[in-house]
Amino acid sequence: MKRKSIYITVAVVLAAVVVGGWQLYSSGNAAAAGTQNREALVRLHSQTLGRAEAGVQLVEFFDPACGTCAEFYPLVKKMAAEHRDDIRLVLRYAPFHPGSDQVVKALEASRRQGKFWQATEALLASQPEWVIQHRAQPELIWAPLARAGLDVERLKVDMQAPEVARAVAQDSADANTLGVSATPEFFVNGRPLPSFGYQQLLKLVDEELALARNGKAG
């Protein structure tokens, strides 16, 4: 009888050790996943607009061939401009449309001429010229980029640089890590939209702006 009690005690202790170890493993995995997700939001190469110290970080994954991205862009940029001290806008690539991988390489290469924003706005505004039946036609982007003041021949060389390919690949990998499956996709201080829409984005931004201001006041 005593031996049976010992066996039961040992079994209970072992079960507790297993459960405790699993909980520790699970919490460790959750913490690691959280850290990975935070790192996936912004990289050193990410193009930003606004102060690094801004209380609200608005990350947008976009595809230059995405019609909804073109519709949202002026609204998002206006929002950031109206709160230039409080919002930091971060643009990340998510080239989901066929052919967009080459277009985002051109955008990344445009940074070498200091004209990323001009190139982005030019391509979004001229989508009907180079997006045909939801498919990007990279060979047609040069005219709108030239009109925006870019040196097209230099751009064609720069977009072949390994650093450009690495930046685009990193953004695509981060989009996958964060579960981005459509564009535009927004994260406000790491929080995704509860449902898609501009009013939902405004609401989330307003919530984070209030939290940031209350934090400063405190």
Q: For residue 184, what are the contacts with CB-CB under 8 A and spacing of at least 6?
A: 60, 61, 62, 66, 68, 69, 72
Q: How far apart are CA 26 and CA 120, in angstroms?
A: 42
Rounded to two decimals, the pTM is: 0.82
At 110 the pLDDT is: 98
At 12 the pLDDT is: 45
Which residues face 110 on adjacent strands? none
Task: Give the confidence band of 216 by pLDDT, cuts at 50, 70, 90.
Answer: low
Mean local confidence (pLDDT), 193-202? 96
Q: Which sign does the torsion angle of CA 188, 194, 195, 198 carry?
A: negative
At 218 the pLDDT is: 36
Task: Give the confidence band of 17 by pLDDT, cuts at 50, 70, 90.
Answer: very low
Instruction: For residue 38, give Cα distances in angstroms to 17, 80, 178, 187, 191.
Output: 31, 21, 9, 11, 10
∠ CA(200), CA(169), CA(161), 5° rounding?
125
Cβ proximity of 92 and 174 under 8 Å: yes
Q: Where are the beta strands (DSSP E) in the chain?
A: 47-49, 56-62, 87-93, 131-132, 135-136, 185-188, 191-192
Which residues face 160 on adjacent strands? none
Q: How far is CA 90 from the centre of its chain?
A: 7
Q: Of all residues in the chain, what percent carry a pLDDT higher than 90? A: 78
Cβ proximity of 95 and 218 under 8 Å: no
